């Protein structure tokens, strides 16, 4: 549901290139459809001054730069955590961890930055309201943070790979310990076995 995570995991090498455009398209379409359905359900009240299509805006004193840094840092931490957990603690419930992280960032940054760490959260409301102030910041900063974390995770796991034997296990030279077989992309794994 979050393009910054999709692109961060693509940068980490766990989401194949063929899936990126369909995921991003579906995510953007979901945001636009949600704004349209909201208007249909609640009528003109959605566009009134009290609601303004629920466009995210920063709090007083927050500039585009400070919002960008907060958004990029938030997604960098989320994607880095996803990669670390799948590589080191695969039994942990990643969905709960990531959901909790987004809840914490919303509680901590909601009144300061607007609390949007999902680029498409801002997209639909901004398009319908015509309010484009800081739209580029809300769209780009989380993606940059997520991708930087993904590239970093990919760099940390770089190294020679063990060949897979016909039985599906990894062949191991003397003195090396065997590693678990690699999980599939569907498990949002951010690692590849290294020696």
Let me know if residue 194 belongs to a domain.
no
pLDDT one-digit tens code per residue, 148-168 = 999 999 988 775 444 444 444
Q: Give the residue-averaged pLDDT of 38-51.
A: 90
Let me know if residue 192 belongs to a domain.
no
Confirm whether pTM is higher than 0.85: no
Let me know if residue 70 belongs to a domain.
yes
Let me know if residue 193 belongs to a domain.
no
pLDDT at 179: 46
pLDDT at 157: 78
- 99/120 Cα distance (integer angstroms): 17
pLDDT one-digit tens code per residue, 158-195 = 754 444 444 444 444 444 444 444 444 444 555 554 43
- When divided into structural domains, the chain yields a total of 1
What percent of the chain stands above pLDDT 70? 81
Q: Which two tokens stand for residue 94?
A: 């990643």
| Least confident range of 1-15, 130-144, 154-168 | 154-168
Bridge partners (DSSP) listed for residue 186: none
Let me know if residue 195 belongs to a domain.
no
Domain region containing 129: 3-187
| Least confident range of 84-88, 142-146, 148-152, 169-173 | 169-173
Where residue 52 falls (left for φ over 0; alpha for ψ -120 to 50; beta otherwise) is left
Let me know if residue 19 belongs to a domain.
yes
Let me know if residue 62 belongs to a domain.
yes
CATH of the domain at 168: 1.20.1080.10
């Amino acid at each position: 549901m979050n393009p910054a995570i999709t692109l961060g995991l693509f940068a980490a090498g766990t989401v194949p290139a063929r899936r990126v455009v369909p995921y991003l398209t579906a995510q953007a379409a979901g945001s636009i459809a949600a704004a349209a359905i909201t208007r249909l359900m609640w009528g003109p009240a959605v566009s009134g001054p009290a609601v303004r299509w629920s466009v995210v805006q920063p709090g007083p004193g927050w500039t585009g730069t400070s919002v960008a840094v907060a958004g990029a840092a938030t997604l960098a931490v989320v994607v880095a955590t996803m990669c670390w957990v799948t590589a080191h603690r695969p039994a942990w419930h990643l969905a709960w961890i990531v959901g909790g992280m987004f809840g914490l960032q919303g509680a901590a940054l909601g009144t300061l930055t607007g609390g949007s760490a999902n680029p498409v959260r801002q997209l639909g409301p901004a398009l319908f309201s015509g309010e484009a102030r800081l739209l580029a910041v809300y769209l780009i900063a989380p993606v940059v943070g997520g991708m930087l974390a993904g590239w970093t995770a990919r760099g940390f796991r770089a190294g020679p790979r063990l060949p897979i034997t016909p039985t599906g296990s990894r062949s191991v030279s003397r003195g090396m310990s065997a590693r678990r077989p690699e999980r599939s992309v569907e498990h949002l794994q951010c690692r590849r076995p290294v020696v």
